[in-house]
Structure 1
Amino acid sequence: MSAAKTKAQSIINENGVVVFSKSWCPFCKASKDLLAEFGAKFRAVELDQMGSDDGADIQSALQEITSQRTVPNIFVGQKHIGGNSDLQAKKGELPALLKDAGAL
């Protein structure tokens, strides 16, 4: 397993909610805003602000893990949710998912 894949997997495993994001991305902002609106504790990993090639390597590793290359790439309770539209579509069940993930 590549170092980036190991790093991505450990971030996913150690956090109830993770948003792999880019700081300039409006869809990422919408996802983080929705989670904040629910009062969720989450880790945002800004791939564009990581040193050297780490962000690009992690984004490639996430594609291997999830088959999704785009951001945001969201995990709740170590389960892949998808992107912003997937998260927005789960708005109704989000409180229960966040509670189960220990993020509320």
Structure 2
Amino acid sequence: MVKQFVDAQIKNNKVVVFSKSYCPYCKMAKSALSDAGLKEYTLIEIENRDDCSDIQDYLLSLTGGRSVPRVFINGKFVGGGSELKSFQAKGKLVPMLKEAQAL
């Protein structure tokens, strides 16, 4: 069930962030998206979900990492907080979001 949930979120949304509300790297990723001008995206805070650990296990199989955030743009895993902050600093995040028709 976790696989279907995660796959559907990635497939059906232009930008998806799997996050934990208290995580500093998650905050970094959300700030980078906000700084890029993105107002609406799919945010899944997993820490209070019964399947939190299962989601992280499945994200590990998809992305090679279990930690959050796991950010997907246009169905493609693009990284976590550090990567998004770097993309934004280098002016690469806005073009990625525009290409995904999220901006």
TM-score (norm 1): 0.89
Identity, in percent, stands at: 40
Whole-angstrom CA distance in 2 between matches of 1:49 and 1:74: 19
Q: Which has the higher helix share?
A: 1
Where has structure 1 moved over 4 Å in runs of 4 or more? none
Tell me whether 1:16 sits opposite 2:26 in the alignment: no
Q: Is the 8 A contact 1:21 1:28 kept in 2?
A: yes
Whole-angstrom CA distance in 1 between matches of 2:14 and 2:85: 18
Equivalent residue of 1:63, what SS? helix
Amino acid at match of 1:38: A
Whole-angstrom CA distance in 2 between matches of 1:88 and 1:30: 7
Equivalent residue of 1:8, what SS? helix
Q: Is the 8 A contact 2:27 2:81 kept in 1?
A: no
Equivalent residue of 1:49, what SS? coil
Q: Which runs of 5+ in 1 are unaligned?
A: none
Q: Which runs of 5+ in 2 are unaligned?
A: none
Whole-angstrom CA distance in 2 between matches of 1:89 and 1:55: 27
Q: How does 1:93-104 map to 2 (within 5 A)?
A: 93-104=92-103
Match of 2:43 in 1: 44
Q: How does 1:81-92 map to 2 (within 5 A)?
A: 81-91=78-88, 92=91
Q: Is the 8 A contact 2:15 2:102 kept in 1?
A: yes
Kindly report the root-mean-square deviation, in angstroms, between the aligned alpha carbons of the 2 structures. Answer: 1.1
Tell me whether 1:57 sits opposite 2:26 in the alignment: no
Structure 1 residue 58, shift from structure 2 partner: 1.0
How many correspondences in the alignment?
A: 100
Whole-angstrom CA distance in 2 between matches of 1:6 and 1:71: 19
Whole-angstrom CA distance in 2 between matches of 1:65 and 1:6: 13
